[in-house]
Amino acid sequence: MKPNKFILCVSALAIAGLLAVPTIRAAQPKSDEAKAAEQADRKAKKEAKDAEDLAKYDANKDGKLDKEEKAARKSDADKAKEEKKLKKEAEKKDKEKMH
């Protein structure tokens, strides 16, 4: 084997080894502490969203959402979802026109 080919092969194997380490590490399961931190983060986000919804939709200020208030929240969420869908479709059409 020529020296240049040998160096090329060794270099390629070294790079492949370096790239494999992060991939293997990412595939390992998360620790209990990481899972607990993620769960606490999700819980905090949910509580913040619930407090925001309560402040926005609790018309009678009784500290909870009744049927009508929940319906208003759902209606707003549905509108936002539809607007997001229409925006995404418009962007897709614009992208297709460019190509």
The pLDDT of residue 41 is 94
pLDDT, one tens digit per residue, over 34-77 is 889 999 999 999 999 999 999 999 999 898 889 999 999 999 99
Q: Closest Cα to residue 67, out of 57, 77, 76?
A: 57
Higher pLDDT, 30 or 58: 58
- pTM (2 d.p.): 0.55
Q: Is the pLDDT of residue 95 over 90?
A: no
CA dist., res. 31 & res. 28, Å (int): 9
Average pLDDT, the chain: 84
Q: What DSSP state is assigned to residue 29?
A: P
- Tell me the domain boundaries of the chain: 31-98
Q: Which pLDDT value is given to residue 21?
A: 64
